[in-house]
Structure 1
Amino acid sequence: MALQFTIPEMTSYLSEVFPQVEGMFAIDRMDEELLVMRLIVDEQHLRPGGTVSGPSMFALADVAAYVATMARIGREALTVTTHCSIDFMRKPEAGRDLLAEARVLKMGRSLSVTDVLLYSEQSDDPVAHASLTYAIPPKR
């Protein structure tokens, strides 16, 4: 399925529909096979012990799945998460951004299913795995 956005267009769209996360995420790669999204880690994302918090990792997985879906269907801001399962596998490395590798497994008319692996930057071992389903609004 051809993508409906370029990376700059998607970045602008995210700022438009979710201004509260502007500057928190960056898109490193976006094509038909893979989306790589970055959580730009700062103090607000840390938990005691200096590691990235679970809610911040969930946010990265969720936004990555949203972007991967939007890239394929276009401007459908009301597309919403209907399911998420996340396994936290190891502690993220302190002082590094987190990367999400998102792959759309199924793109239907009403649902998309995305698989997301999270990594600490410069590490080959995933820190979390998530599976997300998004509901796509019906065409009118």
Structure 2
Amino acid sequence: MDDAAPSSASIQDVVHRGVPLAAAWGIEVLAAAGGSATCRLPWRESLLRPGGTVSGPALMGLADVAMWAALLGLTGGRDESLTTSLTIHFLRRLDPGPVLAEARVLKPGRIIVGEVMIRGETATEIAAHVTTSWAAVVPRS
């Protein structure tokens, strides 16, 4: 673990370079420190599915990116860990609009466990709950 606390903007830069899809979707890292992160997925019509709700793949991608941002906030902005599992429970539909993902590391270590709560930006109710595990990878020099 690194004591240096990178800014949300620098973590967002790492995320956009590491996951170009996050940049293409415009995912923003609003906060990331101490094993927690909040990311925002701006509204885009291309992320909707039939029926006018935000698509599952978009929500899964957002959750994965948010968890990585939480890890980057925990490791000083250097992390090459790999997702080993991601389980998502869709609790309610998300109407078109920006989406927030709040991620937190529940257990650091060789196998990292975390969770992500997803909701509409203006909503208070959780729309999806994600549990995820990652294999810790030491960054290459």
TM-score, scaled to structure 2: 0.86
Contact 2:35 2:71 survives alignment (8 Å) = no
Task: Give the 4+ runs in structure 1 shifted more than 6 A.
Answer: none
Contact 1:3 1:32 survives alignment (8 Å) = no
Q: Structure 2 matches for 1:48-87, cutoff 5 A? A: 48-73=50-75, 74-77=77-80, 79-87=81-89
Q: Does the alignment pair 1:107 with 2:132?
A: no
Match of 1:11 in 2: 12
Shift of 1:139: 7.1
Aligned counterparts of 1:139 and 1:20: Cα–Cα separation in 2: 21
The number of residue pairs the alignment matches comes to 137
Instruction: Give the 3-state SS of the residue equivalent to 1:22 in structure 2.
Output: helix
Aligned counterparts of 1:15 and 1:128: Cα–Cα separation in 2: 23
Shift of 1:12: 1.3
Query: 5+ residue gaps in structure 2?
Result: none
Shift of 1:38: 0.6
Instruction: Give the 3-state SS of the residue equivalent to 2:79 in structure 1.
Output: coil
Match of 1:137 in 2: 137
Aligned counterparts of 2:139 and 2:22: Cα–Cα separation in 1: 27
Query: 5+ residue gaps in structure 1?
Result: none
TM-score, scaled to structure 1: 0.87
Aligned counterparts of 1:65 and 1:84: Cα–Cα separation in 2: 10
CA RMSD between the two structures: 2.0
Aligned counterparts of 1:25 and 1:35: Cα–Cα separation in 2: 12
Aligned counterparts of 2:106 and 2:14: Cα–Cα separation in 1: 23
Contact 1:69 1:112 survives alignment (8 Å) = no
Match of 1:125 in 2: 125
Shift of 1:35: 1.3
- AA aligned to 1:120 is G
Aligned counterparts of 1:67 and 1:28: Cα–Cα separation in 2: 10
Match of 1:116 in 2: 116
